[in-house]
Structures are given as structure tokens and as C-alpha cells.
Structure 1
Amino acid sequence: MVVAMSAAGEWLDPQLAPVLVCVIALAVMGTTVLFVAGLVAYTRRRTLRYLLITVVLGLLVVRSVTGFGTVLGLVPMTVHHLVEHGFDFLIAVLILYAVYRSGSASDAPAAEFDD
């Protein structure tokens, strides 16, 4: 915990450092479990929709690990912002693309997308 407080400098209140580390550790564990579940679902279905969801879940894992590395002083704040905000955009694009490709239940392309 001392590493997190000394490396973070002014942006991290020493009293909140343990809470932040716990929250980010839970985020890493949670997103990793979700990623593995997405990976299993993709291997069963093998559709573009499941692949996109799995990629998005993988990006969430990387975001969480980057945040954890930042708190521990391993990832510079500039890299943190580039990775996290860049991935925010990429995640939004991938989700919107998956939704766009899904269409409605009556659309023919939706049936092709899931098969």
C-alpha cells in the first residue's frame, strides 16, 4: 500500500488508497471472470456477435489491469489515460457495431449474423 501512496503523488488521498486498490482488484477479478465466460460462449457459438462481446470483455480486463498498475505506480498517468479513454471509445464502437449488425428479429441479416 505504501507503494501506491508514494507513487501516486497528489492525485490519490492516502486514506482512500486501500479502498481504491480493493475496488480495482475486484474489477480485475470480475472482468476476468466475465471475459472467460465470454470466451467459453464464443467457442460454443462461433458468431461475430459473440466474438465482439468477448473482445469488449477483454478490453475491460486490460482497462482494469491498467488502472491497477497506475495505482501501484507501474503505469504512468499519461499511458493510463491513453489506454483507458482509448479503450472506452473502442468498446463503444464495438458495442454499437454489434447492435447495428444485429438488426431486428424480422431482418434477414440478423439471421446470418447469428448463424
Structure 2
Amino acid sequence: MDSEKVIRKLQKRIGKEQALKNVHQRRLTEAQLYIRQLESNQEKLLQEKNKQEEQLLRLDAYYQQQLLVKQVETIWQEFQRKLTIELLLADQSQELASAVLETEVSKLKEQIYQWIKLTLPLN
């Protein structure tokens, strides 16, 4: 009878240990699932960050393009103003007007070239 009591006590103890093992196994499984979810969320956040950075780069490129257009328009308007003044001040002969026009066009080309050279990065 003593051996039966010992066996029952051991079986109860084994049952408790098995139940405890099952609880720990379930918690481990839940923790692993939680870790996988966090890793998945981290990947999604990284992808979103990359998308936002790409969008910022596109917006910056668009801004730089618009800035370039605005500055070229300003140079063009200044050219037109100077040319009009020069033509009004110049003798009305066609040769002189043509020379003034050629000079102003050359100045405009040089201004645009210098501005582009300073503004746009060389790759």
C-alpha cells in the first residue's frame, strides 16, 4: 500500500508538472506569435518610411524644377525688358536693331548657362 501511495503522489506531481509545462509551452507559443507580429509591423513601418522618403524626393525634385522654371521666366522677362529699352534707344535701322538683339540673346544664353551650371548638380 505504501508503494501505491507513492505512485499516486508521483502521478499527481507528474500531472502538475505536465500542466505547468503545457502552460509554459502555450505562453512560449503566444510570445513567438507576438514577436512575429512585431517583426511584421516593423517591416510594414519600414516600407511606409521608404515610400515617404521617395515621395519627399519626388516633391523636392518637383520644387527644384518649379524654381528653375520661375528663375528662367524671370531672366526671360528681364531680357525682354532690356531688349525693348535697347531697341527703343537704338537707331531704328535694321542692322543696329539686329546687332542689339544678337547681343542681348547672347547675354541671355550666357546668364541661363551660368545659372544652370550653378544650380544643377553634376552627376
Give the TM-score normalised by the residue count of structure 1: 0.34
- The structure having more radius of gyration, on CA atoms, is 2
Give the TM-score normalised by the residue count of structure 2: 0.32
